[in-house]
């Protein structure tokens, strides 16, 4: 008999599939979708997410590191798998052996790929990463011509695509996004016929806020998991079918206690009860990805009602004020992320309490708890 934690993350595959279909409709039926499943699919389980999306037609996946891509291949994931963040020199053979697609941002890497492909008697398609204004990975525009010259001299590689990334597409009013897109399109024009394949720059923000940038392929990340890149504003602005959050996070009450007025709660007594207070002790803390900065800010759902977190969140526990919520007992369900009754707490709301973004919330919670996949009505 397996002993399970009090805490559980539940992923709804129907939500993932619905979000994929909404994204395809937004981008256009002819546009390819690269599902970004890096960071263990933003905490949603990379392998299960890949299989879930493949079942509705996804044939292209993106990860950050080579190890993630190899894991997918070994698990039987078909289709094209992009390695977006490079790889160490000693692992170059893995790219060829597992038929992966490398994103290249240095001439030296291009040469190593060509040598490995030549040894294997293969020809490898690479995607050139260009920096169109983010100042992160990628060749600067004035370096592209030199790269293309090297490419012509290497017989075992060819340019299968050109890729860049937006830095401000989560802001619908950003002028930077279209400026970045103009830089990208000029680079693509410079590359011209040397590129046999696709041009792709649009992330979730590009798809939903700047649809003209969708190009040949889009790379949705956060939107696959049910969240808009601009948070609650994007959800309020959305027309038609809305994205459906795929993750929920639940726990149980492990003790109910009543403490008198003037009692200090948790480490440092950062909360002093102003009245006789009933507290529910919940076995969730920062070890579980429930950030300490949520102390005295967050709320949870118990019996369909909101209960405020009181005092500092500990490594493995936190306390919620259930004064006024009748009938709370040990073993009752606590929803930290998701719906209960008529109310729901979203990753956007948790992010607003923590001063961060939904991406971080999902990664922290998803990657630090037992996960189950369960079909639920949406």
Q: Which residues are catalytic?
A: 38, 267
Q: How far is CA 125 from CA 120, 161, 197, in A?
A: 14, 8, 9
Question: Own/partner pairs for 228-236, CB < 8 Å, 24+ apart?
Answer: 228/204, 229/169, 229/170, 229/203, 229/204, 229/205, 230/170, 230/171, 230/172, 230/205, 231/348, 231/351, 231/352, 231/357, 231/358, 232/346, 232/348, 232/349, 232/352, 234/208, 234/209, 235/348
The CA distance from 316 to 153, in Å, is 58
Task: State the helix-helix crossing angle for 66-74 and 46-54, rounded to 10 degrees.
Answer: 60
Question: CA 156 to CA 359: how far, in whole Å?
Answer: 38
Cβ-based neighbours of 131, under 8 Å, separated by 6 or more = 137, 138, 139, 140, 141, 164
What is 68-136 written as a DSSP string? Answer: HHHHHHHTT--SEEEETT---GGGHHHHHHTT-EEEE--HHHHHHHHHHHHHTT--EEEEEEB-SSS-S
CA distance 236 to 199: 31
Radius of gyration of the chain measured on its C-alpha atoms: 24
């Amino acid at each position: 008999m397996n002993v399970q934690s009090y805490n559980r993350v539940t992923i709804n595959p129907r939500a993932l599939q619905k979000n994929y279909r909404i994204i395809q409709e937004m981008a256009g039926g002819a546009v390819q979708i690269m599902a970004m499943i890096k960071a263990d699919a933003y905490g949603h389980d990379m392998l299960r997410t890949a299989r879930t999306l493949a079942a509705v037609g996804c044939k292209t996946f993106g990860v950050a590191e080579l190890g993630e891509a190899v894991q997918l291949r070994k698990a039987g994931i078909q289709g094209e798998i992009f390695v977006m963040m490079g790889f160490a020199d000693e692992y170059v053979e893995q790219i060829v052996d597992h038929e992966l697609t490398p994103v290249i941002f240095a001439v030296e890497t291009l040469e190593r790929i060509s040598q490995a492909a030549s040894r294997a008697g293969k020809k490898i398609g690479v995607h050139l990463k260009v920096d169109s204004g983010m100042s992160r990975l990628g060749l600067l525009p004035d370096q592209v011509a030199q790269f293309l010259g090297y490419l012509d001299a290497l017989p075992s590689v060819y340019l299968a695509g050109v890729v860049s990334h937006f830095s401000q597409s989560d802001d619908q009013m950003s002028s930077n996004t279209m400026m970045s897109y103009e830089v990208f399109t000029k680079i693509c024009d410079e590359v011209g016929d040397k590129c046999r394949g696709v041009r792709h720059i649009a992330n979730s923000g590009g798809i939903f806020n700047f649809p003209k940038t969708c190009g040949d392929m889009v790379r949705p990340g956060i939107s696959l998991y049910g969240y808009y890149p601009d948070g609650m504003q994007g959800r309020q602005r959305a027309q038609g079918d809305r994205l459906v959050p795929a993750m929920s996070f639940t726990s149980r009450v492990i003790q109910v206690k009543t403490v008198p007025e003037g009692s200090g709660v948790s480490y440092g007594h950062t909360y002093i009860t102003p009245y006789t207070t009933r507290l529910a002790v919940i076995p969730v803390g920062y070890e579980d990805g429930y950030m300490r900065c949520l102390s005295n800010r967050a709320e949870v759902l118990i019996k369909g009602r909101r209960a405020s977190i009181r005092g500092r969140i500990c490594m493995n526990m936190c306390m919620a004020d259930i004064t006024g919520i009748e009938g709370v007992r040990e073993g009752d369900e606590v929803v930290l992320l998701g719906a209960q009754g008529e109310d729901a707490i979203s990753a956007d709301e948790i992010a607003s309490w923590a001063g961060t973004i939904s991406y971080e919330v999902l990664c922290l919670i998803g990657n630090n708890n037992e996960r189950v996949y369960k079909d639920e009505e949406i």
